[in-house]
Structure 1
């Protein structure tokens, strides 16, 4: 058993014998392991050199979602962000999706969105993948979204050389006119922040869990727009959501602008494969 794994289990207070430990699929950022001791089963993430507070912020996001009493999240038992010994120890969640799992998921995400903070954004800088996500607390959503989401990706893209020329010109023009489409005065919902189709799973009885948050407070339509970008959600998910928390009539107009943020993130991480999608949205709003 790896040294970090021994340290991780010790921090949980589980000193029983390890029955098995094996590497499992769990994304491209961390090494992921299933560990079973005489007492319990665990999911352990490991990173050799994480950004500062990487696992702490994931644990904090999970705890904030748990506090809404809306949708299940894995219990966190221990974490460390020390270099060469960074880990996150969580409850092992295993089950099969039932016929109503996506319905439950939509209903419970809507329930989570009905919990509200006092401001938009977040008190801590977080990550989207391993990409830094600057935050801060703002009194209105428009200023937060413009300054901390879109403008931050613009700056990063300029530095990396993937936002240049007409793309840069259009994005800068969009930022100057964003108030035409993005609302300022919306309630700051609790948001998962990275709710693509791989960040939820089914537990016992098919009940849904969410994992890997990049937490913030903000416009719930921002989260919903991302669920529609890369798929992974059924019609049942959306019908259940709408039943509990109907959408704003302006959602269709703002949805591409909310998807733009995640496309810029992918452009800055993975490169030009996402450039045409970014350009199509910029052309729609800025000609």
Structure 2
């Protein structure tokens, strides 16, 4: 590992003495390290069997969020997707929460969502975990969400035998009637795409940073719905978001159908432990 990291940092322009490499906990996909040289400190993610373009697409997502000038992300220093030597070198962000952190997170996420793209989706496939997300650019969010998100998970679930029987029929029924809950006139907001409580951190002066994006353009309520699935966001966060960019009338009716996507992903990745949550949402929409 020393040789790989030394080579990576030299490629990034840091040839100073490598002082320490510390493996850190967190995340089930990559190995993560804090690497300190005589020049500065880095956060490096390593994956020995990374899918093609795995870190390239993460780096692109971070850069797209950065370009909005709305919310902080770690600086992308370098990356490689070479087989057995895939890594992403980032700025090492350090800080502690204060009384303003979650308010700033809500306000700045709202600012990100007020940045509008040209179409829904994304121009190339992305990843959620190591699961490939098919993509494309669509004029209609409804069609994108139905065809590229829910239908893709349905096909995968059929292949791995986790989408069978009544569950399969109910999801197919939901796909055919999705326009009952999702409007067609949705603006394509810039979205992080995988925003749960583990994908934001705190930097200097208590400022929030987004990490590990699975970037797309789409309905901002899709993002908000996922923040409520696994927790990690305070009342202060939601109040600040609402004060900055109030949610639309359709949010409550479509919240569960948006949460369904992420639960389908977890069902396909991790198995039947998420089956009851998927079934509860399908039963909510399909009688």
What band does the TM-score fall into relative to the shorter chain?
Answer: over 0.9
Question: Per-residue deviation at 1:3?
Answer: 2.4
The structural deviation recorded for 1:2 is 2.6
1:239 and 1:284 map into 2 onto residues whose CA distance is 27
Q: How does 1:236-251 map to 2 (within 5 A)?
A: 236-251=236-251
Gap regions ≥5 residues in structure 1 = none
Q: 1:184 and 1:212 mapped to 2: Cα distance?
A: 29
1:218-233 matches, within 5 Å, as 218-233=218-233
SS of the aligned residue for 1:157 comes to helix
> What's 2:158 paired with?
158
Query: Cα distance, 1:202 vs. partner?
Result: 0.5
Shift in Å at residue 26 of structure 1? Answer: 3.4
**CA distance in structure 2 between the aligned counterparts of 1:90 and 1:285, rounded to whole angstroms:** 42
* Per-residue deviation, 1:84: 1.1
Spell out structure 1 runs of 4+ moving beyond 2 A.
none
Contact 1:46 1:86 in 2 (8 A): yes
When structure 1 is superposed on structure 2, of 4-13 and 78-87 the one drifting more is: 4-13
Conserved? CA contact 2:46–2:85, under 8 Å: yes
Match of 1:169 in 2: 169
Tell me the distance in 2 between the aligned counterparts of 1:4 and 1:158: 40
Q: Given that residues 4 and 87 in structure 1 are in contact (C-alpha distance below 8 angstroms), is that contact kept between their aligned partners in structure 2?
A: no
Q: Distance in 2 between matches of 1:54 and 1:190?
A: 20
**TM-score (normalised: structure 1):** 0.99
Q: Is the 8 A contact 2:6 2:18 kept in 1?
A: no
Contact 2:263–2:274 (CA<8 Å) still a contact in 1? Answer: yes
Give CA deviations for 1:160-193 in whole Å, capped at 9, x if unaligned: 1101000000000000111111122210000000
| RMSD value, Cα | 0.7
Q: Distance in 2 between matches of 1:101 and 1:215?
A: 23
How far apart are the structure 2 equivalents of 1:235 and 1:88? 33
Distance of 2:19 and 2:2 partners within structure 1: 14
Task: Kindly report which structure 2 residues correspond to 1:6-45, keeping only aligned pairs within 5 A, or say none.
Answer: 6-45=6-45
Corresponding residue of 2:92: 92
Aligned residues of 1:158 and 1:164 also touching (Cα < 8 A): yes
Structure 2: gaps (5+ residues): none
Structure 2 partner of 1:284: 284
Partner of 1:46: 46
SS in 1 for 2:248: coil
Structure 1 position 22, deviation (Å): 1.1
1:206 aligned partner: 206
Show the counterpart of 1:109: 109
1:139: how far off? 0.6
Task: Report the 3-state secondary structure (helix = DSSP H, G, I; strand = E; otherwise coil) of the residue aligned with 1:269.
Answer: helix
Equivalent residue pairs, number = 287
SS of 2:81 mapped into structure 1? strand
Judge conservation of contact 2:182–2:250 (CA < 8 Å) in 1.
no
1:128: which partner in 2? 128
